[in-house]
A = this chain, B = another copy of it.
Amino acid sequence: MSQNEDTASYFKALGHPVRLQIARKLMEGEKCVSEVENMLSISQANTSQHLSILKANGIVDCIRKGNIKCYFLKEPGKIQGLLAVLENTIQEKG
């Protein structure tokens, strides 16, 4: 895939409110699937599906720890950087 398509695909993966929320939560540290599920109040299956899209785009990765799987941001700095660009607007004095 071209870099343009890769980048578009990365944006697309973050372009869903649930997946963006997951990325935000993972900025706090790694979480297992059921933690994500409970924090966002979505079904187990849907949580797993969204995580799998994030993983396919290299945004998260996971390690199994016994019976559970812990997901974490692969490059937290990227997510932080993107959100800084879009959301950390400097407020001017009123």
Contact = CB atoms under 8 A, between A and B. Distances in A.
Interface string A74-94: 000010011101110000000
A41 interface: no
Number of copies: 2
Interface of A: 2-5, 7-17, 19-21, 24, 78, 81-83, 85-87
A12 B4 CA distance: 14
Contacts of A11: 11-12, 14-15, 20, 82
A87 B81 CA distance: 12
A21 B11 CA distance: 13
A28 B40 CA distance: 40
B87 A3 contact: yes
